[in-house]
Amino acid sequence: MAQRAPNLRPPHIPPDRICLFLDFDGTLVELAERPDGVVVDSALVELLGQLASRLCGRLAVVSGRSIAQLDKLLGGVQVAVAGSHGEEIRHSGMISAPGRRPDVLHIIEAGLANAFGNKDGVIIEVKSLGVAVHYRLNPAVGPAVQALAARLGADHALKVQTGKMMVELRTTGHDKGTAIAAMMQTAPFAGHSPVFLGDDVTDEDGFAACAALGGVGILVGEERPSAARYRLDGVSNVREWLSAL
């Protein structure tokens, strides 16, 4: 679909008509210089619990982080979760996830570590189903990181997922859009309009999936071409909008 830069604040949407999908970093919590530096406050935990109850379970966190990471960060919040950019899904007591490719991912991890492991400000993050390199603290290495990631991805048939000051190598075939589409086929999500909030280019697949399913995407952050229909300025605005549902 043609993309334009959305700048309309989302209206109030009757909660009985929708199901809600929420990105994590940059949407529910402020971005941090390090992946382990994000802060999950008690107000967010309480808000998610209230939303899950108000929406009768039609709430999911859809993130590039693994389910294990999200569980650790969100504590006892009982919501559906899609992790690893849609490769892992857990909801309604069901869990689906492809097998990890440890042989390949060990090669990827070693290649990235040899090239950038000693660079100041570069963080190599080993995930459940991939390996990510964060260079927010050293943006100058970005082109070199992306070039090596592209080569390793081509050599080992892995998806190269770019984002804000990061690049990740992971297995192919899944994204946030496929995760949303899969959950929309089952209770309690089926029969409702999907709404997805996200801030990064990694969220565009989710925005497009929602549009195709009769719902909408809400971009968080500065204006840019996007498949989202609406936009909110930042995390505080997201919390405010969610609280009004």
State both tokens at 72: 């650790």
From the candidates 23, 25, 175, 205, give the one annotated as an active-site residue.
23
pLDDT digits (tens, 9 = 90+) for 79-106: 999 998 888 999 877 777 665 566 788 8
Residue 23 known to be catalytic:
yes
pTM of the model: 0.86
State both tokens at 127: 């995930």
pLDDT digits (tens, 9 = 90+) for 43-76: 999 999 999 999 999 999 999 998 989 999 998 7
Q: Residue 228: what pLDDT? A: 96
Does domain 102-170 correspond to CATH entry 3.30.70.1020? yes
Is 102-170 the same fold as 15-97+174-243? no
Domain ranges of the chain: 15-97+174-243, 102-170
Q: Residue 58: what pLDDT? A: 97
What fold characterizes domain 15-97+174-243? Rossmann fold (3.40.50)
Identify the segments of the chain with pLDDT beneath 70.
Answer: 1-2, 97-102
